[in-house]
Amino acid sequence: MSEQEPLTPEVKAVEAALASLRPAATTVSRDRIMFEAGRAAAKPRRAWAWPAATAACAAAAIWLGFRNAGEPNPFAGGDASLAVSREPTAQETNLPPGSIAAAQPSSPRSPDSYLYLRQRLAAADLATMSFSGEPERSLPPASPPPAFNRAEWLRRLN
Amino acid sequence: MNFGGRRLYDGSSIFDPRVGWMSVTPELLGSLIDAHGAALRLFARQWCDTADDVVQAALVSLARQSSVPDDPAAWLFRAVRNGALSARRSEMRRKSREQLAASERNDWFEADTETAVDASAAVAALNALPDELREPVVAHLWGGLTFEQIAVVAGISSSTAHRRYEQGLRQLRERMEPSCRNKNL
């Protein structure tokens, strides 16, 4: 205000004359304002948060769907990049032909694993099984179980 | 201003170093209505017919603030300005120019015969002023805002606000000279 020039007497006279006018009183109801203010304060201010989060998740799902739509399904048709090939272990080579272990090329390598022990049991190779800390016995591989025909079964049952 | 042991709006910033910014209380709203209600209505009336609705919306909007603005009066005048300009745009769409001119009735000032100028002539002269000249006149003369506050409200510099105020008064004097002569001013 210091750099502002003072008003001339003529303008000051108009200013004083206009200042004698009183603005019309507002018809705004104070009670109405208090009621509206209280109602507004009671409304949740972040009512947009959940809709916004839902919209963002939906948009992300749609975007991911379009993004992955053109890519091949890695679980259909056998992807060569996912195939695991390895040489059979020494124990697996001793299994009799036609056993379960021979039919499952992806047996675990650890001799203490559940699948390996189960394969050995199924192959009736219990005598040659070794456990942790126990040296493996070098027994000859078990012969395959005898193949019974119907006449042999009837004979044994009688 | 003190009321019931609570500090209310006294024209300055409402900041208590002990509790921080005060929230908008009913007492504060009441004191703002008492101090600025009529001026806010007049400030809105220069732009639109629905001045009371605009003022009410601005007060409710203030009540929703989490903390009291730095300058509640300037905040309210700015909110009223925005609301009134928005309401005027809506009115312009609804009404024709002739209807707008017909709606410019004298509900700006109290009908008081003890004034130095004729209220109807003052309203006509104010209506004839451009918005940028009328706004600082109304805000300073009847709203009691300083030129710094007007600068904040209108988004201009304080020197520009003062220059427009003076220019507006000069134009009002030219337009109101006949009525002033009738009132022996």
State pLDDT tens for residues A57-80.
999 999 999 888 877 766 665 555
A4 and B162 in contact by Cβ < 8 A? yes
B5 band by pLDDT with thresholds 50, 70 and 90: very low
Angstroms from A56 CA to nearest CA on chain B: 27
B33 and A14 in contact by Cβ < 8 A? no
pLDDT at B94 over 50: yes
Q: Does B6 touch chain A (CB under 8 A)?
A: no
Q: Does A22 touch chain B (CB under 8 A)?
A: yes
Q: Which two tokens stand for residue B175?
A: 């337009």
Closest residue to A17, CB basis, from B59, B110, B185: B185
B163 Cβ neighbours under 8 A, 6+ residues apart = A4
B152 band by pLDDT with thresholds 50, 70 and 90: very high
Nearest partner of B62 among A94, A34, A96, judged by Cα: A34
**130-149 of B, contacting A, C-beta below 8 A:** 137, 141-142, 147
pLDDT given for residue B87 in this prediction: 92
Q: Does A30 touch chain B (CB under 8 A)?
A: yes
Query: In percent, how much of chain A has pLDDT > 70?
Result: 56
B51, closest residue in chain A (CA to CA) = A26
pLDDT given for residue A116 in this prediction: 80
Q: Is A44 exposed, middle or buried (0-12, 13-18, 19+ CB in 10 A)?
A: exposed
Radius of gyration of chain A from Cα atoms?
Answer: 45
pLDDT given for residue A138 in this prediction: 58
A87 band by pLDDT with thresholds 50, 70 and 90: low
pLDDT at A1 over 50: no
Q: Return the residue in A10, A12, A27, A28 with the most chain B beta carbons within 10 A, the one to mutate for interface testing.
A: A28
B171, closest residue in chain A (CA to CA) = A11
The total of other beta-carbon atoms located within 10 Å of residue B177's CB is 14
Count of residues for chain A?
A: 158
Greater model confidence, B77 or A145:
B77
**66-105 of B, contacting A, C-beta below 8 A:** none
**DSSP string covering chain B:** -EETTEE---SS--EETTTEEPPP-HHHHHHHHHHHHHHHHHHHHTT-S-HHHHHHHHHHHHHT-SS--SSHHHHHHHHHHHHHHHHHHHHHHHS-HHHHHHT--S-SB---TTSSS-HHHHHHHHHHS-HHHHHHHHHHHTT---HHHHHHHHTS-HHHHHHHHHHHHHHHHHHHHHHHHHTT-
Greater model confidence, A41 or A117:
A117
Angstroms from B6 CA to nearest CA on chain A: 18
Greater model confidence, B179 or A50:
A50
Q: Does B158 touch chain A (CB under 8 A)?
A: yes
Mean pLDDT computed over A48-61: 92
pTM: 0.57
Cβ–Cβ < 8 Å for A104, A76: no
pLDDT at B22 over 90: no
Greater model confidence, B51 or A7:
B51
pLDDT given for residue B82 in this prediction: 95
Please report the number of interchain residue pairs, chain A to chain B, with beta-carbon separation below 8 angstroms: 119
Q: Distance (Å, rounded) from C-alpha B21 to C-alpha B68?
A: 6
In chain B, what residues touch A14 (CB-CB under 8 Å)?
169, 172-173, 176, 180
B109 and A22 in contact by Cβ < 8 A? yes
pLDDT given for residue A60 in this prediction: 95
Q: Distance (Å, rounded) from C-alpha A85 to C-alpha B88?
A: 79
Cβ–Cβ < 8 Å for B107, B42: no
